[in-house]
Amino acid sequence: MGILKTFTLGGVHPPETKLSADQAIEVLPLPKQAFIPLNQNLGAPGTPQVAKGDEVKVGQLLAKGEAFISSNVHSPVSGKVLKIDNVMDPSGYRRPAIVINVDGDEWETDIDRSENLLKEIKLSQKEVIEKIHQMGVVGLGGATFPSHIKLMVPDGKKADVLIINGVECEPYLTSDHRLMLEKGDEVLVGTTILMKGLGVDRAIIGIENNKPDAIRNMTELAKAYPGIEVCSLKVKYPQGGEKQLIKATIKREVPSGKLPIEVGAVVNNVGTAFAVYEAVQKNKPLFERVVTITGKSVEKPGNFLVRIGTPVKELIEKAGGLPEDTGKLIGGGPMMGKALLSVDTPIVKGSSGILMLREREAKRVEVKNCIRCARCVSVCPMGLEPLLLAQYAENEMWDEAEQEKVMDCIECGSCHYTCPSGRPLLDYLRLGKSKVGQIIRNRGKK
Amino acid sequence: MLTVSGSPHIHGDSSVKKIMYTVVMAMVPAMLVSVYFFGLDALRVLLISSLACLFFEWLIQKYLIKGPVTINDGSALVTGILLAFNVPSNLPVWILLIGAFISIGMGKMSFGGLGKNPFNPALVGRVFLLISFPVQMTSWPAPKLLFGSITSTDAMGGATPLGFLKEGLKNQTVPELMKDMPDYAMELIGFIGGSLGEVSVIALLLGAIYLLAKKVITWEIPTAYIGSVIIFTGILWLVNPDMYISPVFHLLTGGLILGAFYMATDMVSSPISSKGQILFGIGCGVITILIRIWGAYPEGVSFAILIMNAFTPLINRGFKPKHFGEKIQSA
């Protein structure tokens, strides 16, 4: 084996702490009540298709994504719609959600619930995209961008390769790892479907080499799928970032401010490929996903197949309860996840994991003067100068921040992670991004 | 109660304190050698300089700024040791105290403390003393071993090899002067006159390897600094070996190694980008040699680094790190 591939600029290596890597995926029991936010994707919320008092089945359409960047939401449970009300979602805001009192587990009859692996793709390219659209599939890596839009290549651009993200570079998280071990064939069929939708004959699955079992399994299985290769990558955060993964696997660099399609690539997550398989081959909408539940004090860290809308606390109970020393509850991984306000927050399509950090780990370190050590610069995967951008944001120098490419920041948090003075660099960069973004949008209106 | 804050939710194990004490550790070999060669005098200078720097930082933070006292972050200790490294071991105590006060007070605290100082504090103190007390700052004791009885005739008292060279070149050639100078082996281990921390190239390199391995410093500045000195003096030496001494001599004497690895690399006062650091190192090298060969002083490391410190903001402006996706590649 030669030198392992990876991206070239910046990066850090936080402790991997993959506590739940050996835990097979278990099915989480149904909740008594499900809270299904209307907006679980990047973009506009869906329009409700049910009303209070309606009886719904598993897989029934609850909300229709009517805007261009929007996505359908289906019922993860069967039962009666209690109300459509504002419920706190993982962002911490109270937003419209459909609340269902669960009754039994009655599925729509056109969903194929068998375990049979269906390899043959019967749908055409156009039908594939439409099916993915109908079934409400969004990017499950965390960004929740509606998947069908990614497959519609804009005029004048051409895709020549699909990259499947099996990196799982966030510490603690193991849901993609388990999928590649337990549902490898399904992921590969899903990949083939995505290739068809995109119109490419080549796909690369990027996996970091801290998951040798997944690399072995996928490499072995991929032999039966033409055009799909597995690329083993050196462990480095944030390799799961689209631009970093493209650079690592095919050495192409997405230009600043542009999308991956600019260099002929489209990136999808392993979890998304699995959801695409279920949607297209099994006619099953996206209403459940694999979620890692983990933390150093958690009694039984594990990976669970969870229905969307299940309150986080039910998952926590299953893992042995909320440890007493819990200081922070995080939706996602420790580097890019969001701190949750409450254990009542529902699992949504974008929930890759629930992480319980101990009190001690939850506190930020004391902030000291910047000593200009430039470590933030050397770890920034986008080649930015976080110390400088933070200064600009602090002093509201938005033009300068824009010039220094604050909008290129992918919010990976490597700068803050590595800062010896514990400076909240990413907080400032986010502020800069939101202000500069606003300025750019206003400019466009004129 | 759950804590809610923005990502990232974990922090690496680096801290200012860790960085500073790593630097202190790296200087231990040179400290030991200095005590071995210059005896208890060296120990006295090291202790007084360190304690004085800590004391003045405490005094200023507590009674002038009336803010938090941060003397245990290790940065004042680093300044104290570096200042000691840059003075002769027989420097009177009161002069040393003035040096410590200028380093901490003028070099560091008046700009807002650690991280805000444009110049290396220890060098500010050192140059202040050199200009104010030129006699005391340049009367070098001959090294005499702490243990053992080797007294070398090669070990010149009263002048550093660089000083001896500068003085001698007024009426002699380089080959003539070389006869009266310590050989390279002596210079390598540090059995020569000089400031107490600069003499032993071997001890300094040991610490430098440690700093590089711990990633407290990066290769750019030392390599560019030392490389440019070798190239610059090498050309001169090849052109006229009677007038210009060999690059090896320039490497082994004076404060070049100390400066290149321990002071030019000061993260606060050196450039951010790799390219900027290389330019900074080259600037240091060129200015050092200009002063050593044509300047009024026999040694130019301190001045060179301070001058380049002043250019750091400009270099940071002109030399940005490479942005991702800057160069548009075809698909």
Average pLDDT, chain B: 90
Mark yes or no for CB contact B323/A420 under 8 Å. no
Cα distance from N-terminal residue to C-terminal residue, chain B? 51
Identity of the residue in A258, A369, A387 whose CB atom sits nearest the CB atom of B116: A369
Does residue B13 belong to the interface with chain A, where contact is any CB pair within 8 Å?
no
Residue type, B63: Y
- The span from the CA of A169 to the CA of A176, in Å, is 10
Q: Are strands A265-269 and A161-165 parallel, antiparallel or unpaired?
A: parallel
**How many CB atoms are closer than 10 A to CB B180?**
13
Shortest Cα–Cα distance, B100 to chain A (Å) = 21
Interchain pair B6, A427: CB under 8 A: yes
Inter-residue contact A218 to A207 (CB < 8 Å): yes
Contact with chain A for residue B68, Cβ under 8 A: no
Residues of B in contact with A342 (CB under 8 A): 2
CA distance B113 to chain A (A): 8
CA distance B48 to chain A (A): 26
Number of other CB atoms surrounding residue B72 within 10 Å: 12
Contact (CB<8Å) B326/A254: no
Tell me which residues of chain B, numbers 283 to 322, contact chain A at a CB-CB cutoff of 8 Å: 320-322
Output the DSSP codes for A53-71: T-EE-BT-EEEE--SSSB-
Residues recorded for chain A: 446
Residues B123 and B5: their CA atoms lie apart, in Å, by 41
The shortest C-alpha distance from A105 to chain B (Å) reads 34
Strand, helix or coil for residue A35: strand
In the three-class reduction of DSSP (H, G, I as helix; E, B as strand; rest coil), residue B277 is classed as helix
Nearest CA in chain A to B277: A374
Superfamily of structural domain A125-282: NADH-ubiquinone oxidoreductase 51kDa subunit (3.40.50.11540)
- Which two structure tokens, joined as six digits, stand for B67? 């803010």
Inter-chain residue contact B19 with A252, CB threshold 8 Å: no
What is the pLDDT tens value at each position of chain A, 446 positions in all?
457 899 989 999 999 999 999 999 999 999 999 999 999 988 888 899 999 999 999 999 999 998 889 999 999 999 999 999 999 999 889 999 999 999 999 999 999 999 999 999 999 999 999 999 999 999 998 789 999 999 999 999 999 999 999 999 999 999 999 999 999 999 999 999 999 999 999 999 999 999 999 999 999 999 999 999 999 999 999 999 999 999 999 999 999 999 999 999 999 999 999 999 999 999 999 999 999 999 999 999 999 999 999 999 999 999 999 999 999 999 999 999 999 999 999 999 999 999 999 998 888 888 999 999 999 999 999 999 999 999 999 999 999 999 999 999 999 999 999 999 999 999 999 999 999 999 999 987 76
Residue of A nearest to B117 (CA): A371
Nearest CB to A253 within list B11, B115, B325: B325
Q: For residue B303, which of B324, B328, B319, B283 has the smallest C-alpha distance? A: B283
Helix axis angle for A270-282 and A175-182, nearest 10°, is 50
Q: What is the pLDDT of residue B257?
A: 95
Structural tokens at position B26? 């790296």
What is the pTM for the complete model shown?
0.91
What is the spatial distance between Cα B214 and Cα A207, in angstroms, rounded to a whole number?
Answer: 29
CA distances from A58 to A33, A71, A146, A280, A431 (A): 13, 17, 21, 17, 41
Question: What pLDDT sits at residue A339?
Answer: 94
Cβ–Cβ gap B323/A363 under 8 Å: no
- pLDDT band (50, 70, 90) for residue B184: confident
Q: Read off the tokens for A128.
A: 């594939």
* Global ipTM: 0.89
Q: Which residue from A361, A362, A383 is facing B322, i.e. has the nearest CB?
A: A383
Which chain B residues contact residue A326 at CB under 8 A? Answer: 2
Average pLDDT score over residue span B93-117:
96
CA distance A174 to chain B (A): 18
How many whole angstroms separate alpha carbon A280 and alpha carbon A260?
25
Helices B220-239 and B274-294: angle between axes, nearest 10 degrees: 40
Q: Is-contact A301 A23, C-beta < 8 A?
A: yes
Tens-place pLDDT, residues B1-34: 788 899 999 999 899 999 999 999 999 999 999 9
Candidate from A253, A335, A384 with C-beta closest to B8? A335
Nearest CA in chain A to B9: A334
Quote the CA–CA distance of A334 and A249 in Å, as a whole number. Answer: 25
Domain ranges of chain B: 16-137, 161-317
| Record: contact B324-A335, CB cut-off 8 A | no
Element (H, E) at A206: strand A203-208
Report the gap between the CA of B271 and the closest CA in chain A (Å).
Answer: 9
CB A356 within 8 A of CB A295: yes
Q: Distance (Å) from the C-alpha of residue B16 to the closest C-alpha of chain A?
A: 5
CATH number of A28-106+287-361: 3.10.20.600
CA distance A279 to chain B (A): 31
Distances (CA, A) of B78 to B52, B128, B269: 12, 18, 14
Structure tokens at A357: 């950090």
**Nearest-CA distance from B119 to chain A in Å?**
13
A-chain residue closest to B270, CA distance: A372
Contact A421 B115 (CB under 8 A): yes
Instruction: Name every chain B residue with its beta carbon within 8 A of the beta carbon of A368.
Output: 16, 70, 73, 114-115
For a pLDDT cut of 90, what percent of chain B falls above it?
Answer: 70
Give contacts of A294 with chain B, Cβ < 8 Å.
Answer: none
Q: Where are the domains of chain A?
A: 28-106+287-361, 125-282, 375-445
More confident residue, B140 or A311: A311
How many Cβ pairs within 8 Å bridge chains A and B? 160
Interchain proximity A377–B320, CB inside 8 Å: no
d(CA A219, CA A231): 9
Q: From CA A120, how far away is CA A113, in angstroms rounded?
A: 17
Instruction: Point out the residue among A160, A243, A326 whose CB comes nearest to the CB of B324.
Output: A243
Q: What is the pLDDT of residue B145?
A: 59
Enumerate residues 6+ apart whose C-beta is below 8 A from B161: B181, B182, B187, B192, B193, B194, B249, B253, B254
pLDDT tens for B60-94 read 999 999 999 999 999 999 999 999 999 999 999 99
Q: Tell me whether residues A385 and B327 touch, CB distance under 8 A.
A: no
Cα(B261)–Cα(B255) distance, integer angstroms: 10
> By CA distance, what is A418's nearest residue in B?
B12
CB contact under 8 A, A405 and B323: yes
Contact across the interface for A369 and B5, Cβ inside 8 Å: no
Tens digit of each residue's pLDDT (9 = 90 or more) over B142-165? 776 555 544 444 445 557 888 888
